[in-house]
Structure 1
Amino acid sequence: GLHIATYFETITTETCESEIFILVYVMHLLFTFVQTFFIFKNHKLVINKQKPFVRFGMMHLMATNICVLIVTAVMETNEDYRLQSYIVNNVTLEGTKSCYEEVTLARSASPYLFPCTIIYSIIGAGIIYRLYQYIGVRIKQRWPSHTSFTSSAPTGASAIDCDKANKGLFLGLLVAVFTLIAIATFFVFESRLQDMFTAVKVLFTTEIVLMIITGLGIAWGYIRLSKLKFITSQFLSVDSVLLLVALAGSYIYLCFKLIAVSTSLQGNVAGILSLITTIFSICQITEQTVFILDGLCRCAENDNQMMQKPGRAVVTFLLVCNLALWVVSMFEVKKTRVVRLHEEFYGILAWNIITHLCVPLIIFFRFHSAICLSKMWYNAYQKEKTT
């Protein structure tokens, strides 16, 4: 939508893109709307007619989401590379000077919003694949319990009970308030005081504190949830696979950062904070992934565990903390543009490719972790369903 608005915003000057891209953006907007409507309308539908054609359509739709993901990453990488090359060299190709000198709404919001397109494509592909799995499958009682992508509760499901979650929710809200204050401080230093280095230091410090808190919470949560029954048949669900995909992208990005920072560290505070944040991130996402994969396979073994709900407060706390980390991770591109150790080490083009492919997966990891924790929050305290 912002790209469409940019066309009218720069209508009196030369633009960096052909006018045909307006049609592309309009079609992309329509595709997103229609697909979202289709998913919300049909996410519980089991199709038993014309199954070969439906399977072909689902596979085509899933491939379309993957193509949108790739095209978005390539286009954003190209745009950022051309813009940064112009800034560094202070030269442009003929006919592009005016568009790169103008500050447009889409260009200002791009570091925060382009990952959303990629995340939407990943989630869309995951939901379509799940629909594909259940083509022709007869459900006797109700839709399967994998409802992390859709918030609609099945018919006959018990009401959500917030028992044993109050302490975790209260502590989580304190963490959320701390995060919001830190983000507000970031914008004060960035916009009003024009001090980007201090602004980025605030983000690094916030991220380190959040990861230390969540790391301790995960350790305590694992001790509490280990009392519950483990179900091996639940280990490789779609949620688990998507979490592992996001983890792989996060590992790749963090390893690239670690190599660059440890090799090019010059003793400045921002560089040291970047190194500490990277090391803590690798440890925290590893610990959290193991905890979530284990927790998704847990359920209550008896009525006493259903009543006591061991570890539910911790799961609630971790859910809110991951939402806070998700918000902080939205500023990852902004941080790398201030701390230029990585860009100087790999080069503008290589680093742009790395960030545009991997940063959305880090953001998705935080977002999907919150989804998986919400699923644990409910399912881990129910008895195992017998077929």
Structure 2
Amino acid sequence: VLLVYLSGGLVLFGGCSVIMDIFKMIYYVGRIHCESPVKIVFPAVQALFVITYVLWVHAKDCVQIQQIITRCGLMLTLSTNLVVWMMAVTEESLHQTSIALTISVVFLSGRSGASECECSHNMCDVFEKVYYYLYPFNIEYSLFASAMAYVMWKNVGRQMDDHHSHNLRFSLWDVLIGPIAGLIILVAGLATFVMYEVDVAKEEPKKKEEALIMHYIMNIVAILLMSITTLIGCIIFRMDKRDQVSGKNPTRSLDVGLLVGSSLGQFLICYFTIVAVLASGVQGHINGLNLANSILTVIQLCLQNTFLIKGLHREPFKETETATVFANVMAVRERDPERRSSSIVPAHTLPIPLTLLQGRLNWKRRILKEICAFLLLCNVILWIMPAFGARPQFDNTVGSNIYEFQTWAAVVNIGMPFGIFYRMHSVASLFEVCFTS
């Protein structure tokens, strides 16, 4: 499931990255008279790299020869994607924080519109706004590509073991309450996100305060419900008697490593936020909600990581199980006199549904699927809001007042991309746990 998720993510985010590069080229063509030509060449080269990489990954080239050269090439590809990711994060950070810096020709200026350079066509502002909205997809693509390169590097020369494969079935009719509750949170989150962006853009203190309160309340409700459902899921896994997955699996190890590693970014922001709010004396409703939101986020991350790690290391439920059917010995003797001397009759085995044998597991499987569906949709909205511009860390000045703006901006800009990736990666892990439940 992880490989399908990575492949699908590469296609989706890679396509958006190519579109972003095209818009950047068009934008800088209109400013070629006052900008370096490198700013046109770089998006073109990056778009070519994205297209080539996606085609290469989907060629499904299983390399068993020249393993050293292959591993070196994959490590070079992985390193390149990490460099591209750092560049994209830096650009996005400069844009979000509106810091005017002089940077290398590879990067864009976060406030390029404020310069005296005028565009030769009227669509420059439109293209600039569009490709900035596509930056989250470019950032996610670089992380997806790095993860896929790592999986391919680990699988070079690896012989697959076929006897561990499972024929899994997933039906949308298995869940109902979880998707409905998740959709309610998703729609409510989208509505509050739009209102938050509109009110913050007005730059009115009262509107800004109301927007922050609304945003914090929405996040607290979602995270509190997620924490409760995740705790229930952990209890069910505690009662579950399924075997643990045995054997080394680079994909699963990467899955768990990405979950734990990317969650550290959100932990970082929450830790500094808690310290800043406590240092300021927790004055006002906004700071109180900010503190509650940060503490609940830490709890939810711990519970969700535990739930996902337990779920990813469990063997899938089997569709059928062998049952023993015994024959009536006396009836057989009466019908067949030749067998009267024998008191032992061979038993026959028939595959019968697991639900007939182990009905007590039905409610566990149903609840696990409902929990996974609910958490999946909640993680989607928690990805959408920060990925598309929600920055309450900057709109609420408590962090910048305690740490000073430059330090606080560095903390947020380092932790936020990892937090965004964590929510996206959690969606794939939750789908896999739901799929195997």
| Residue 23 of structure 1, aligned match among 31, 41, 45 | 41
Task: Confirm whether residue 224 of structure 1 aligns to residue 240 of structure 2.
Answer: no
8 Å CA contact retained: 1:322, 1:369:
yes
| Residue 261 of structure 1, aligned match among 263, 267, 277 | 277
Q: Which runs of 5+ in 1 are unaligned?
A: 87-92, 146-155, 382-387
| Residue 277 of structure 1, aligned match among 293, 300, 303 | 293
Q: Deviations over 1:196-225 (max 9, x none)?
A: 332232222111110011011111222223
8 Å CA contact retained: 1:4, 1:22:
no
Quote the offset at 1:131 in angstroms: 1.1
Quote the offset at 1:247 in angstroms: 1.5
Task: Confirm whether residue 338 of structure 1 aligns to residue 395 of structure 2.
Answer: yes
Quote the offset at 1:5 in angstroms: 3.5
| Residue 122 of structure 1, aligned match among 139, 143, 149 | 143
Q: What secondary structure is seen at the aligned counterpart in 2 of 1:117? A: helix
1:161 is aligned to 171
2:341 is aligned to none
Quote the offset at 1:65 in angstroms: 1.2
Quote the offset at 1:139 in angstroms: 2.7
Quote the offset at 1:98 in angstroms: 3.1
CA distance in 2, matches of 1:99, 1:348: 28
Query: Aligned ranges for residues 1-387 of structure 1 at < 5 Å?
Result: 1-2=19-20, 5=23, 8-9=26-27, 18-42=36-60, 45-77=61-93, 83=99, 97-98=115-116, 104-105=125-126, 108=129, 113-139=134-160, 141=162, 157-190=167-200, 195-228=207-240, 229-231=242-244, 233=246, 237-264=253-280, 267-299=283-315, 300=317, 303=354, 304=358, 309-310=365-366, 311-330=368-387, 334-379=391-436, 381=437
2:427 is matched by which residue type in structure 1? A
Relative to 1, partners in 2 of residues 1:338 and 1:16: Cα closer, same or farther, differing over 3 Å? farther
CA distance in 1, matches of 2:68, 2:29: 47
Q: Deviations over 1:364-387 (max 9, x none)?
A: 1111111111010112x3xxxxxx
Cα RMSD over matched residues?
A: 3.6
8 Å CA contact retained: 2:27, 2:127:
no
Relative to 1, partners in 2 of residues 1:29 and 1:259: Cα closer, same or farther, differing over 3 Å? farther
CA distance in 1, matches of 2:231, 2:377: 16
Quote the offset at 1:110 in angstroms: 7.6
Q: Deviations over 1:149-183 (max 9, x none)?
A: xxxxxxx9444323532222222222222222222
Q: Deviations over 1:260-304 (max 9, x none)?
A: 232235624333322221111111111111111111112337733
2:328 is aligned to none
Q: What secondary structure is seen at the aligned counterpart in 1 of 2:391? A: helix
1:355 is matched by which residue type in structure 2? V
8 Å CA contact retained: 2:96, 2:389:
no
1:165 is matched by which residue type in structure 2? V
When Rg is computed on C-alpha atoms for both structures, the one with the higher figure is 2
CA distance in 2, matches of 1:99, 1:61: 36
1:132 is matched by which residue type in structure 2? W
Relative to 1, partners in 2 of residues 1:18 and 1:85: Cα closer, same or farther, differing over 3 Å? closer
Count of aligned positions: 359
CA distance in 2, matches of 1:260, 1:38: 47
Q: Which runs of 5+ in 2 are unaligned?
A: 1-18, 103-110, 119-123, 322-353
1:90 is aligned to none
Q: Deviations over 1:75-102 (max 9, x none)?
A: 444566663689xxxxxx9x974369xx
| TM-score normalised to structure 2 length | 0.71
8 Å CA contact retained: 1:251, 1:282:
yes
1:135 is matched by which residue type in structure 2? V
CA distance in 2, matches of 1:159, 1:356: 41
8 Å CA contact retained: 2:20, 2:135:
no
CA distance in 1, matches of 2:34, 2:293: 36
Structure 1 vs Structure 2: percent identity of aligned residues? 20
CA distance in 2, matches of 1:286, 1:79: 31
Which segment is superposed worse, 117-126 or 280-289?
117-126
Relative to 1, partners in 2 of residues 1:266 and 1:288: Cα closer, same or farther, differing over 3 Å? closer
CA distance in 2, matches of 1:225, 1:17: 58
Quote the offset at 1:188 in angstroms: 4.4
8 Å CA contact retained: 1:46, 1:138:
no
